[in-house]
Amino acid sequence: MADLNTPNEELNEGYEAEGELYTLVDEDGNEKVFELVDILEEEGKVYFALIPHIEDPQELLTGEVELVVLAVSEGEDGGDILEPIESDEEYERIANIFIDRLDAELDEEEDVDAE
């Protein structure tokens, strides 16, 4: 995924969840909407963790969810763009940090629900 990656202002209007929505364009020109679930700053770089936007939250519970991890960099126009992480080692390290953080957040939510 990457090339043209922009916040989708129309989709964000009226959307009540905390995450921003982004339209990502893959190498074949296909557009897909993703929701921002976490941001990480690590070693001077900023990374986004996104999942496909699903209107019905129940769908998130019924299957595996694709986690997309992208680096934030400066585009030619000075604005931020999202790009794939080139290094497999860097990708694995950052993805594992996001997964650990998301797992911890889910555990906290389950603990609150159990009370």
pLDDT digits (tens, 9 = 90+) for 34-64: 999 889 999 899 999 998 888 776 666 666 7
Q: What is the mean pLDDT of residues 70-96?
A: 91
Q: How far is CA 54 from CA 21, 101, 104, in A?
A: 11, 21, 22
Percent of the chain residues topping a pLDDT of 90: 32
Q: Alpha-carbon distance 22 to 47, whole Å?
A: 14
Structural domain that includes position 68: 5-114
> Phi, psi at residue 24, to the nearest 5°?
-105, 145
22: left (phi over 0), alpha (psi -120 to 50) or beta: beta
* Greater model confidence, 1 or 68: 68
Percent of the chain residues topping a pLDDT of 70: 71
Q: What is the pLDDT of residue 5?
A: 44
Q: What is the pLDDT of residue 69?
A: 95
**C-beta neighbour count of 91 within 10 angstroms:** 16
Q: What is the pLDDT of residue 11?
A: 38
Maximum pairwise Cα distance, the chain = 50
Amino acid symbol at 110:
E
Number of domains in the chain: 1
